[in-house]
């Protein structure tokens, strides 16, 4: 009888363990707003599009839970002039009652007009980005776009940057994938050309310069007969200022053309990428240099 009771107790313990309720999952934004946790945030010295924030988080109550650093949470600097930082990594941390834990988190800059922070700058919880930005951040996380390309997408939402700046000429595949997703969630039209500008991560300096460095354009042209073509960039007076090629013969077929317009030293204004046969313009794209 003793052995039977002992076996029954063990069986009940095993059943209880197998049906144990997993810890609750709570987003950081909810935990802060409901005073479940307190957070001290401080910059790590890493670039703003890397793991730029260290969060020291204290569980203020008796709950045990998994805390998720949900993408879209924004922290603002306690010192003027520095950029706010937005979380983008969805890191997780196990929290026990009244205990304090520390974690470094993936971030992006949330205001291109501000300066990159030095190490040790204190930050405070500000709130959440809008729903569409949060969707974009999840996509960036899923595809590991933690670079200037991902940062450019974030600035499209936080600062109203143009969609044509979300482009990396060294990574056409990922650029196209991200572009298609942003078009899908925002309803914007696909750009006719793409713009490269200066992005800076030097401490204490403004991170974004709107001055155009280079413009990229791609297009296709179907020729119904062999033709001698010229492709170049023209100013508003019709003068060619940069040549891609001149009087080059192309056969009867479909052709793809790629243009890189070097805009350093070029006056701001409107310019025209033109594919011509003699004086006849076969295709034209207007671009703007800022």
Report, as an integer, the average pLDDT of 4-10.
45
Q: Percent of the chain at pLDDT above 90?
A: 91
The pLDDT of 99-117, averaged and rounded, is 97
CATH number of the domain within which 278 lies? 2.60.40.10
Which letter does DSSP use for residue 166 in this model? -
Residue 71 pLDDT level (bands cut at 50, 70, 90):
very high
Place of tokens 């997408």: 153
Judged against a pLDDT cut of 60, whether residue 25 lies above it is answered with yes
Residue that wins the pLDDT comparison between 212 and 5: 212
Residues 201 and 216 in one domain: no
Domain identity same for 164 and 115: yes
Q: Which of 179, 206, 233 is the last residue of a domain?
A: 206
- Is 3 domain-assigned? no
- Are 192 and 285 in contact, with CB atoms under 8 Å apart? yes
Same domain membership, residue 258 and residue 168: no
Shared-domain flag, residues 70 and 214: no
Mean pLDDT to the nearest integer, 72-95: 97
Is 243 within 8 Å of 232 (Cβ atoms)? yes
Please indicate, yes or no, if residue 276 is contained in any of the structural domains: yes
Which three-class secondary structure state does DSSP give residue 19?
coil
Length of the chain: 290
Q: Can you say whether residue 244 is alpha, beta or left, with left for phi > 0 and alpha for psi between -120 and 50 degrees?
A: alpha
Q: Does the residue 1 lie in any domain?
A: no
DSSP single-letter state for residue 113: T
Distance set, CA 210 to CA 162, 181, 193, 197 (Å): 11, 24, 16, 6
- Strand (E) or helix (H) holding 287: strand 280-289
Tell whether the model's pLDDT for residue 9 goes beyond 80: no
The answer on pLDDT for 16 being more than 60 is no
User: Domain end: 181, 206, 231, which one?
Assistant: 206
Q: What is the pLDDT of residue 21?
A: 64
Its domain, for residue 241, covers 210-289
Q: Which of 179, 213, 82, 91 is nearest to 141 (CA)?
A: 91
pLDDT number for residue 54: 98
pLDDT exceeding 70 applies to what percent of the chain? 92
pLDDT value at position 23?
75
Residue 228 and residue 183 share a domain: no
pLDDT of residue 33: 97
Token code pair at residue 237 = 């007076």
Residue 4: its pLDDT value, please?
45
Are 230 and 187 found together in one domain? no
Q: How far apart are CA 20 and CA 217, in angstroms?
A: 58
Q: Is 131 helix (H, G, I), strand (E, B) or coil?
A: helix
Is residue 238 in a domain?
Answer: yes
Q: Which of 15-29, 102-116, 215-229 is least confident?
A: 15-29
pLDDT of residue 157: 98
**Based on the domain organization, do 156 and 264 belong to the same domain?**
no
pTM of the model: 0.87
> Do both 41 and 176 map to the same domain?
yes
**Residue 259: its pLDDT value, please?**
95
Mean pLDDT of the chain: 92
pLDDT of residue 20: 52
Number of H helices, E strands in the chain: 5, 17
Q: Read off the pLDDT of each residue in 42-53 and give the average, rounded to a whole number.
A: 97
Mark whether 259 and 118 lie in a shared domain: no
- Residue 216, number of CB atoms within 10 A of its CB: 19
Q: Is residue 227 in some structural domain?
A: yes
pLDDT at 89: 94
- According to DSSP, the β-strands at 65-68 and 24-27 are parallel
Work out how many domains the chain is built from and give that number.
2
Q: What is the 3-state secondary structure (H, E, C) of 193-237?
A: CEEEEEECCCECCECEEEEEEEEEEEEEEEECCCEEEEEEEECCC
Q: What is the pLDDT of residue 22?
A: 66
Name the residue with tokens 């934004």: 29
Question: d(Cα 125, Cα 30) in Å, to the nearest integer?
Answer: 11
Dist. CA 169–CA 196, nearest whole Å: 9
Note the helical H segments in the chain.
2-18, 28-33, 131-142, 148-158, 172-186
pLDDT tens readout for residues 265-283? 999 999 999 999 999 999 9
Cβ proximity of 246 and 203 under 8 Å: no
Query: If you average pLDDT over residues 85-107, what whole number do you get?
Result: 97
Considering the domain architecture, whether residues 195 and 122 belong to the same structural domain is answered as yes
For residue 106, what is the DSSP state?
A: -
């Amino acid at each position: 009888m003793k052995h039977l009771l002992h076996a029954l107790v063990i069986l009940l313990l095993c059943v209880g363990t197998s049906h144990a309720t997993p810890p609750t999952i709570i987003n950081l934004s909810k935990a802060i707003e409901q005073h479940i946790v307190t957070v001290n945030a401080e910059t790590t010295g890493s670039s703003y599009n890397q793991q730029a924030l260290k969060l020291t988080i204290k569980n203020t109550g008796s709950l045990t839970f998994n805390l998720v650093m949900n993408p879209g949470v924004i922290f603002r600097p306690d010192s003027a002039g520095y950029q706010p930082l937005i979380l983008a990594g969805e890191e997780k941390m196990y929290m026990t009652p009244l205990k304090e834990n520390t974690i470094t988190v993936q971030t992006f800059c949330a205001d291109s007009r501000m300066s990159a922070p030095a190490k040790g700058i204190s930050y405070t919880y500000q709130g959440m980005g809008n729903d569409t930005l949060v969707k974009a951040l999840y996509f960036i996380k899923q595809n590991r776009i933690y670079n200037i390309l991902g940062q450019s997408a974030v600035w499209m939402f936080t600062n109203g940057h143009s969609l044509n700046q979300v482009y990396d000429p060294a990574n056409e595949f990922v650029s196209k994938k991200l572009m298609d997703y942003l078009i899908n969630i925002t309803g914007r039209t696909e750009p006719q050309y793409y713009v490269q500008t200066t992005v800076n991560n030097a401490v204490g300096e403004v991170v974004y310069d709107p001055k155009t460095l280079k413009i990229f354009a791609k297009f296709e042209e179907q020729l119904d007969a062999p033709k001698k073509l010229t492709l170049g960039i023209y100013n508003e007076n019709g003068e060619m200022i940069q040549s891609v090629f001149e009087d080059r013969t192309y056969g009867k077929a479909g052709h793809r053309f790629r243009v890189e317009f070097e805009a350093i030293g070029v006056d701001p204004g409107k310019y025209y990428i033109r594919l011509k046969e003699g004086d006849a313009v076969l295709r034209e794209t207007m671009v703007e240099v800022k």
